[in-house]
Amino acid sequence: MRQRVLHEFHDLAGHPGEQETARAIHNRFHWPNIPKSVRNHVKLCWICACGKKSKTSVTDMRPHQPTKPWEMVAVDLMGPYPITARRKRFILVLTDLFSRWVEAFPIATSDTQKLITIMEDEVFGRWGYPRSILSDNGPQFRSTLWQESCKKWQVKYHTTAIYSPRANPTERRNQEIKKGLRLSLMNRQHNQWDLKLPAILYHLRGRQNAATGFTPAKILFGERT
C-alpha cells in the first residue's frame, strides 16, 4: 500500500520535492517515518534525476503583492509539444499569485487571438477580471492585439525582464507540469499528454504551498480537494 501511495503522491502528482510529497501524504495517511519513505522513493525516481537543473538567482519583477484571489495573474505559454490525437500542441498556463491556483489549457495554436479567447471564455468567465497580468516577453504578449485587449479589459499588463524568463512566477508551475508530462512522453504516449493535465492540476491545487502555508484549494474554497 505504501508504494502505491508514494506512486500517487509523487509520480502521478508531477514529481514534487520531498517535503511537499511528505506533507501531502501526511495529510491523508499515517505510517512511521513518512519523510524517510519519501526520500528513498525520490532517490530512485529516474525522472527526478534526469530533470535536475542548476538553480539561478533571478530578481522578482512583480510590481506588487496581491491582496486577494485573482487580483494578479501570471500567464505563460508552454510548447510546442508533439501533436496529440486532439490536435493540441501548446499549453496556456495561468497562476493566481495570491492562492497559487493553477489553470492549464491545452491548445492547438499559439496565436494571440487564441490566447485572448481562452482568457475571455475560460478564465474571466470563471474567476472575473484581474487587476493586473504578468507574462514574459513572448511575441504573443508583445503584440498590438494583446495590448489592446488588456486596455479593453481594463487590466494592467506587466512583463518580466527580457533576459530573465524565470522571473515569471509561472516558471515553477511550468516545471512541475513538465515533470508530470515527462513520463507520458518518455513512455511514447506522445499523442496523449493533454489527457494527463487534469490529474496534474488536481495534485497541484491540493498540495500545500511553501510560500502561503496552505493549499490553493484551501485558500479559494476553504477546503482541500
Work out whether strand 90-96 and strand 156-159 pair parallel, antiparallel, or are unpaired.
Answer: unpaired
Distance separating alpha carbons of residues 214 and 16, to the nearest angstrom: 16
Banded pLDDT at 224 (limits 50, 70, 90) = low
As to burial, measured by CB atoms within 10 angstroms (0-12 exposed, 13-18 middle, 19+ buried), residue 150 is middle
Mean pLDDT of 56-83: 75
Q: Is 78 left (phi over 0), alpha (psi -120 to 50) or beta?
A: beta
Q: Which three cell numbers stand for residue 121?
A: 471564455
pLDDT at position 169: 61
pLDDT at position 105: 97
pLDDT at position 92: 95
Which residue has better confidence, 117 or 196? Answer: 117
CATH architecture of 72-221: 2-Layer Sandwich (3.30)
Which residue has better confidence, 143 or 66? Answer: 143
pLDDT at position 57: 35
Distance separating alpha carbons of residues 45 and 157, to the nearest angstrom: 39
Asked whether residue 44 carries a pLDDT value surpassing 90, the answer given is no
Q: What's CA 98's distance to the chain center, in Å?
A: 14
Banded pLDDT at 119 (limits 50, 70, 90) = very high
Q: CB count, 10 Å around CB of 79?
A: 13
Banded pLDDT at 59 (limits 50, 70, 90) = very low
Domain range list for the chain: 1-51, 72-221
Has this prediction a pTM greater than 0.85?
Answer: no
